[in-house]
Amino acid sequence: MVTDDHTIQPLTTHTWEAFAELVKRHNGIFGGCWCTYFHPSCVDREPGYEGSRKMKKQLVETGQAHAALVMVGDEAVAWAEYGTPDELPNIHHGKQYLAEADAIPDYRITCIFVDKRYRRQGYAKVALAGALDLIAAQGGGVVEGYPHEVGEKRMSNSFVYNGTRTMYEQAGFEFIRSKGLRNTVMRRTI
């Protein structure tokens, strides 16, 4: 279970190395993505693991990539990526999302990742709460997340890259609609 020995820090050039070490420990995350998929220039990056790493580092250096890092000591053990829709336009089921959109949020939470050694201990919830706190510190607004509907059958972690509907409901989000096969649109104002 989560203990009080963690802190939340924003992803910046000062915390880049801790973030990078977490990504490296997990082979670049999801086949070398480095949590770049949702960014607009993802398709224009150099190919592969190294291209994704360079792109993410450049986005962090220019203030275009944001995440709440869960730190245990000097080690990052989880994160929740967030940003504006302009910073994170590439969401899954995007055509359906736009066709059914009733509003565009101020912020999106697009990816939550927890180190294998710390899974099933509540750190995804900590990362989500950390992202909400950092968004509030930037002035807040309408925040959307796109968690998954998890049935009785266990899903691979790669399919639950943004947490579960239940976790978002516990964090005060309201279900707006389904999106794709097992994705949802959840919303909360901070």
Task: Give the Cβ contact number of residue 27 at 10 Å.
Answer: 10
pLDDT tens digits along 129-182: 999 999 999 999 999 999 988 765 554 444 456 889 999 999 999 999 998 888
Domain ranges of the chain: 6-189
Longest dimension (CA), the chain: 44
What pTM did the predictor assign? 0.91
pLDDT tens digits along 13-66: 999 999 999 999 998 887 788 888 898 876 566 777 888 899 999 999 999 999
The CATH number of the domain covering residues in 6-189: 3.40.630.30
Tell me which H or E stretch contains 131.
Answer: helix 123-137
Q: Can you give the pLDDT at residue 159?
A: 46
Q: Can you give the pLDDT at residue 63?
A: 94
Query: Please, which pLDDT band fits residue 112 given cuts at 50, 70 and 90?
Result: very high
CA 110 to the chain's CA centroid:
4
Q: Cβ neighbours of residue 41 under 8 Å, at least 6 residues apart?
A: 55
Terminal Cα-to-Cα distance of the chain (whole angstroms): 26
CA dist., res. 87 & res. 94, Å (int): 15
